[in-house]
Amino acid sequence: MPNSPPREPRAMSPTDDPAPTGHPDGAPEVDLLVMTLDAADPEINTRLAPLLDDEERARAARFHFDRDRRTYIAAHALVRSVLAVRTGIAPARLRFTAGARGKPELAAGQMPVLADGRPALRFNLSHTREAVAVAVSTDPACAAVDLGVDIEAADRLGDYDARIARSFFAEDEAAALEALPTAAERARRFLTLWTLKEAVIKTTGQGLSQKLSGFSIRFPAAWPADGLLPDIEARDPAPPPGLAWHLTHQELPPADGRGGLHLAGALLAPVRQPRPRWRLHRVTPAMLPRLHPQAAG
């Protein structure tokens, strides 16, 4: 992968509506929202906790470390705020259930559906140290697909270790990592692969039961400007008939003096559809209570 500079997502204002704009060519549209957390901000928990439901607030109170409590509250506040924009339901009133593969989805009566009864909204959540991310789409073109997202701190790996790569990645991926000329490039590619693979298995809903070494991701000779990658070369999980993988990866520059981030999204979409459009947004905790002023109480 060439050493292209990290790309800055556009900032979202409190009046920005992260709702689908719709495209005449039928391309799926996915929003990726990223929120970084300031460990020195004492008001994050009190500002965002009202967006959670009673059960989530009770669970947050049981965390031993405040950093874990802060991340949990922020992650659930972000996903609830984004879904409130899409559904018009107040964040704390949203209810979730486990889907067919155990992935959370909105409960019946709150999930937007198409005329044929299929869900019209897909979402996924990820968090790392002091950052959370949500992928969401209510684009009708995404009704028959699913999506996943993963976010990691750029300094998570530390020094590159070839043994870790051989343990978690396919043989061709580990060999490609070893062929890179510097340790910094190997560490960077490792996190790129890690986030992409995590996004893929979160899309399938298989989680830890799916080995990261069970499929390979082909990197293009020239990294596309939009971050989209060719379909993964999958031995497992192969896409179901008529569907194809679409992946995106972005390196996000530091925000407010904190470290950079690796962000990856994976979309499983019908092969007949155009390539998806990914919209990046960077939000702050202070924005969340103001994103959905018209949501029903």
**CATH number (domain holding residue 119):** 3.90.470.20
Residue 260 lies in a domain: yes
Q: pLDDT value at position 116?
A: 78
- Which residues sit opposite 133 in a β-bridge? 34, 126
Residue 224 lies in a domain: yes
d(CA 34, CA 48): 15
Query: Assign residue 22 a region: left if phi > 0, alpha if psi is -120 to 50, beta otherwise?
Result: left
Residue 64 lies in a domain: yes
Residue 197 lies in a domain: yes
With b meaning 16 or more CB within 10 Å and e meaning fewer, what string describes 2-39?
A: eeeeeeebeebeeeeebebeeeeeebbbbbbbbbbbbe
Task: Identify the sign of the CA torsion 88, 94, 97, 102.
Answer: positive
**How many CA atoms, within 13 angstroms, populate the side-chain half-sphere of residue 102?**
8
Residue 131 lies in a domain: yes
Contact in structure between 246 and 276 (CB atoms under 8 Å): yes
Contact in structure between 276 and 267 (CB atoms under 8 Å): yes
Q: pLDDT value at position 136?
A: 94
Residue 202 lies in a domain: yes
Residue 226 lies in a domain: yes
Q: What is the pLDDT along the chain (297 residues), one digit of tens a residue?
A: 334 433 333 333 333 455 555 555 667 789 999 999 887 787 889 999 999 999 999 999 999 999 999 999 999 999 999 999 999 999 999 999 987 777 888 998 998 888 878 788 899 999 997 899 999 987 776 666 789 999 999 887 666 677 888 888 888 888 888 888 988 888 888 899 999 999 988 987 766 567 788 888 877 766 666 666 655 655 566 777 888 888 899 988 876 656 789 999 998 888 887 888 899 999 999 899 888 755 655
Range of the domain at 238: 28-290
Amino acid at 34: V
Number of independent structural domains in the chain: 1
Residue 194 lies in a domain: yes
Contact in structure between 196 and 152 (CB atoms under 8 Å): no
